[in-house]
Amino acid sequence: MKHYSTFAIEQFGRHIHGDVEAFNWLINNDYRELIAVIDAIRDDKKAFNFLIDGKHMELAAFVNTIWDDFKAFKFLINAKAFDWAACANVVNGDEKAEAALKAAGKGHFVALAKAILGRIHEDGDRATTPWGIMKNLFDFKKKFD
């Protein structure tokens, strides 16, 4: 598994919040897989396949753990990717995981989880606006064309 520095995780969180400089930093420093993670969380199949094809299995499991896949969580634990497992649990509202990350000096993973959670909520809110409903209807229609 590739090691991600605190700074790389912080840049990833900033990217999720829409920071263009953070996005550019991730691209320029060869962290495209982190960019793919947020897209995969948002149900982009190509992004998820990018993670699998690039053998970023822990990140793919992280995505699935966020969506309540217990086998993916178990994979993270077996791979000793505890920070990613705890981060996914924070996204899912586990206060003990948040406290454990903070106690271990891994607050950057807590901040990442909150950025991801914010994006998930933002996407959900966007889907309930009149424009979001129309967009979803057109996307739904495309799947059956």
Range of the domain at 62: 6-144
Residue 114 inside a domain? The answer is yes
User: CB within 8 A of 50, min separation 6: which ones?
Assistant: 32, 33, 36, 40
Residue 1 inside a domain? The answer is no
Across 36-50, 110-124, 126-140, least confident range: 126-140
Residue 56 inside a domain? The answer is yes
Q: What is the mean pLDDT of residues 94-114?
A: 97
C-alpha to C-alpha distance for 128 and 132, rounded to whole angstroms: 6
C-alpha to C-alpha distance for 52 and 95, rounded to whole angstroms: 30
Number of domains making up the chain? 1
pTM, rounded to two decimals: 0.84
Residue 135 inside a domain? The answer is yes
For residue 106, the 8-state DSSP code is -
Mean pLDDT (the chain) is 89
Q: What is the mean pLDDT of residues 40-64?
A: 97
